[in-house]
Amino acid sequence: MHDDVLRNIFSDIHIEETVLDFRRTLSRDGRAEAVLAPDEHTGCDHLQDSTDAPSPRPPDGCAECLSEGRRWVHLRRCMTCGHVGCCDSSPGRHASGHYGTTDHPVIRSYEANESWRWCFVDEQVG
């Protein structure tokens, strides 16, 4: 019983060492490293899929703030359903709230002179 446990521990250690040696060999060889990390996926599929903005609803402000009679700072439009919500500098933070309740991943600024987009999932600007 005791021997079995020890043997298991040693075989685990042996595996660990093999993996470490493997990594060490790879890091000395640039090409092998490239194989390890085949062109790293830095892009965001959500942003690529969200190029057409749905018509804004409502068109004149944050949906929740309007119904609650509150003020907002900036507006963001959901690229999935067109929901207009306020930014994180606004007390309501309804754009983030909309993502929290719907999982709609991408918003675009609804400010007149801005067209940047933001993916909540990858936390990436596009």
Q: Per CB under 5 A, does 64 bind Zn ion? A: yes
DSSP per-residue codes, 16-49: HHHHHHHHHHHHH-HHHHHHHS-S---S-HHHHH
62 binds Zn ion per the rule CB under 5 A: yes
Of residues 77, 94, 108, 117, which one binds Zn ion by CB under 5 A? 94
Task: Note whether 57 and 64 are within 8 A (CB).
Answer: no
The one segment of 3-11, 31-39, 50-58, 89-97 that binds Zn ion by CB under 5 A: 89-97
- Residues near Zn ion (CB under 5 A): 44, 46, 62, 64-65, 72, 78, 80-81, 83, 86, 92, 94, 104, 119, 121-122
